[in-house]
Amino acid sequence: MFLRLASEYRGFVKDLVMNLQALAIVLENLGYLASCYTCGDQLHSASFMVSLGDDHLIRFLVSDYGITWTEMRDDRELMKLEGAEAIQQLHELANLAKFKLTPKHSALTVS
């Protein structure tokens, strides 16, 4: 059972990494500074970052070890979430792309 769960989690991480790569491209096309870095082509982990302007930075890390959302402003950590809560905040960020909001007309609502 545990080997199956580990395999499913690796598959989940791979799917999440692919979605982060796509989100970075979409956000860049909307005018945000965004990037998604992975190590190698296995998609076991990723570091996703986006600047929302005014020294407001989001960092989302995903790997076999866990999932973390960190929000910073003026080089100070405002919020750090893990697991499902981190993914929920990622959904809010994805809404920027979904509704095609541009940086000057949008602000991420932190819930």
- pLDDT tens, residue by residue, 10-28: 999 999 999 999 999 999 9
pTM: 0.85
Q: Is the pLDDT of residue 110 over 50?
A: no
Q: Place 97 in a pLDDT band, splitting at 50, 70 and 90.
A: confident
pLDDT given for residue 98 in this prediction: 86
For residues 109 and 111, give the distance between their C-alpha atoms in angstroms, rounded to a whole number.
6
Tell me the residue length of the chain: 111
Question: What is the side-by-side strand order in the sheet with 66-73?
Answer: 33-38, 46-53, 56-63, 66-73, 76-82
Question: CA 44 from chain center: how many Å?
Answer: 15
Query: Of 92, 101, 103, 111, which Cα lies nearest the Cα of 53?
Result: 103
Structure tokens, 104:
């000057």
